[in-house]
Chain A
Amino acid sequence: MKEAVKCEGLSKTFKRKEKVVALDNVSFTIPKNEVFGIVGPNGSGKSTLIRILSTLLIPDNGYAQIFGHDVVREYSKVRPLINRVSVDAAFFKGISAWENLRYAGRLYGLGSKETKQKTLDILGQLGFDEKRYYEPLENLSRGMQQKIAIARAFFTAPMLLLLDEPTTGLDPRSKMEVQEFVHRAMDSNGLTIVLTTHDMKEAESLCDRVAIIIKGRFVALEKPSTLLKKSGKSNLEEVFIDITGKEWKEIEYES
């Protein structure tokens, strides 16, 4: 199996007060060991796509496969292969990082000793102070909580990592530490990453290929260098304006 991810004709509409088309006939494949970036404004469908790949959302049409397994019909085969970091570090905030991670480890069949060893190793690489490991999460900053979320995703050794805006809202230092960690993780054997972000520079530096998503549709999918070369622009933000004819912030406002 060469492909880590294969999506064909994925569509998802939410029935709220008005119908919201979150994904509109999206198709792509991601080979193993690739860092695949998805950039787009708020509400463009990035998180919906991540949720479908995470087996948390069922598409209306089309299919998604992870290492050859359908995310809806074969979810039990998909789940041991994946993990995820979302923009909001969802934890039991009243208990410590250690208690939250021990809980996560057990869900993946890991004992407490192994969990502690692995998570402290990752957190050390992320510049997290070990003393804070035993404090309730509600006492920790947003950056620290996000580092724990990253440790939670990495220590279960997934083959596919879904990073949904992992650096949004982080202070510059935490952002850099997280990006450096992802950079190092990219060299790990067998790891494929899907990274959604608002940050064009982040996409440019971390991703092998980048898809631009607007209102649920992929409007471009290339290597960052190819996108720059084809458009003759100097950065991805200019490429985005070139493709959509709109400023980044303008699109965010419309969404």
Chain B
Amino acid sequence: MNLKAQAYGSIAFIERNFALIKRYIGWEVVFLTYNIVNALAIGLIGARMGKDMVLYLVVGAMVWGFLSILFHEISESIAWERWEGTIEYTFMAPINRFTHLIGNCLHAVTYGVIRSTLILVLVVLFFGISLKGANLPALVIILIVSGLSFVGLGLIAAVLPLLSTEKGAYATHIFEAVLLLVSGVYYEIEVLPVWIRPLSYISPATYTLRAMRAALLQGTGLGELLPTIVLLLVTGSILIPLGIIVFRQAEFYAKKTGKLKRSG
């Protein structure tokens, strides 16, 4: 198939996933409300410790919200296809796996940006936070490059529901929870027990959060943040192809063992 057809293929996943969001809009309102309340409640924990602490915690809630949307939406899109039994039709369609997975990733990024922006605006209004000293362009750049890593992790996690719909979904949530624990979302990783810290050092979220807080709280310049940006870029450019390779291997295994079938 030509490039135009592959582009149509990518659009298919974005369009389909937004159609599903529209259909279950009630649940979207519930999740969004929960996310907003969660961000506000976490921000209020730091209210007595000053605006910087509020911002420190709110950044954690927001960045985690964005990254977990990327991670979750990508693996969830595969899980959903398994539940509905449509995965066989997607897999026998004349689009390559890259198109399929990138389509799902593009949806996740668009959806994540919309939701996170909405939460940010509400949180800023609620706490009356001024972002005057913040380095906002650096903030956006960090968010984009860190997104690449989480897209890659999401692709790897998508293998789990591909091979086992129910158990895969459990494992994905456990993986996500471990990332939340080790990445310094609401605290510095130095407070973690020493034995757990190696996981913090390999989590891309740890570096994302540090860089985001530096840009937002101290207005740190791009030059100073460059090593972190390069690190996240390199991690992402390794994790995305790795995710696609792992997914293709899992697809081959599923076809060999007959695991694509919805039942039996």
Contact = CB atoms under 8 A, between A and B. Distances in A.
Interface of A: 12, 14-15, 48, 51, 54-58, 76, 79-80, 82-84, 86, 88, 90-95, 99, 102-104, 106-111, 136, 152
B84 A103 contact: no
Contact of B255 (A56, A91, A102, A108): A56
A99 B260 CA distance: 23
B12 A90 contact: no
Interface in B59-112: 80, 84-86, 88-96
Contacts of A93: 84
B88 A109 contact: no
Given A84-B92, A107-B94, A14 B84 contact: no
A91 B88 contact: no
Contact of B95 (A83, A86, A107, A110): A107
Nearest to B263: A88
Interface stretch (B16-24, B46-54, B165-173, B197-205): B16-24
A95 B23 contact: yes
A108 B262 contact: no
Nearest to B89: A90
Contacts of B4: 109
A111 B146 CA distance: 34
Interface in B5-63: 5, 8-9, 11-12, 15-16, 19-20, 23-24
Contacts of B15: 99, 102-103, 106
B88 A136 contact: no
A82 B92 contact: yes
B221 interface: no
B132 interface: no
Contacts of B12: 102-103, 106-107
Given A58-B255, A93-B84, A103-B16, A109 B92 contact: no
Contacts of A91: 84, 86
15 contacts: A48-B258, A56-B255, A56-B260, A58-B252, A80-B94, A88-B85, A90-B86, A91-B86, A99-B16, A106-B11, A107-B94, A108-B93, A109-B1, A110-B8, A152-B89
B257 A15 contact: yes
A57 B258 contact: yes
B26 to A, nearest CB: 12
Nearest to A83: B92
Contacts of B90: 107
B257 A136 contact: no
Nearest to B24: A94
Contacts of B8: 106-107, 109-111
A95 B96 contact: no
Contacts of B255: 56-58
B92 A56 contact: yes
Sort A-B residue pairs by CB-CB distance and give the 5 closest, nearest first. Answer: A109-B5, A106-B12, A90-B85, A107-B93, A79-B94
Contacts of B257: 14-15
Contacts of B9: 106-107, 109
B23 A76 contact: no
Nearest to B5: A109
A136 B262 contact: no
Contacts of B256: 58
A94 B16 CA distance: 11
Given A91-B84, A109-B9, 5 more contacts: A54-B92, A79-B92, A92-B80, A102-B15, A106-B8
Contacts of B19: 92, 95, 99, 103
A212 to B, nearest CB: 22
B94 A90 contact: no
A143 B5 CA distance: 31
Which residue among B16, B94, B262 has the maximum number of chain A CB atoms within 10 Å of its CB? B94
Given A90-B262, A107-B9, A56 B93 contact: no
Contact of A55 (B2, B11, B92): B92
B230 to A, nearest CB: 36
A138 B99 CA distance: 28
